[in-house]
Amino acid sequence: MGLLDQILSLGDKNKDKKIIGKEVREFLSVPPREMVENFITALLEKSAERGLEIIQTAVDENLDIKMFLKLILRDLRSMLLLRLSPAMKKQMEEILGDREFKFVDANKNAPKPGELENALKILLDIYEVRGRSYLPQLPLELAFLKIIGQNQ
């Protein structure tokens, strides 16, 4: 059975045959939006404790760390684009959901100049390494600490 068939079968479990986003996210082990936003907020506030707790929660809930990293990269990139190119605002509104857009737009100026670019570079560097790590969360933890300056 293909992935799409498996997702469609989620509707068979409900009386009204509807598939809801939460069920699909759980089935695919995708982190909830709130977790991504809380992690980015911890990164912006340079809160080692909060950031590491969020990563551990993702592990405890058996969420896909690669997908978590993708969502983080997407939001940080969106913040950078909105910050450097305000003309892209309408395009970004169309690409991102309403909640995501409001979050990235509200936080686009929070980091100092160069911090978003640095965070993106560090996270991109670990993207491929992550798959070869003994602990899938370890590269993200180390990258997070490097970004917030806690491993110097």
> HSE on the CB side for 93, CA within 13 Å?
6
Q: What is this structure's pTM?
A: 0.84
Give residue-wise pLDDT tens across range 119-148. 999 999 998 776 677 888 999 999 999 999
**Residue 62: Cβ within 10 Å count:** 8
CATH architecture of 31-148: Up-down Bundle (1.20)
Give residue-wise pLDDT tens across range 38-81. 999 999 999 999 999 999 999 999 999 999 999 999 999 999 99
Give just the sign of the alpha carbon dihedral 23, 7, 100, 122: positive
Domain boundaries along the sequence of the chain: 1-30, 31-148
Which stretches within the chain are classed as H helix?
A: 3-9, 21-28, 33-45, 48-60, 65-84, 89-95, 98-107, 115-129, 138-148
Residue 28 pLDDT greater than 60, yes or no: no
Give residue-wise pLDDT tens across range 86-106. 999 999 999 998 999 999 999
Closest by Cα among 45, 44, 71, 47 to 58: 71
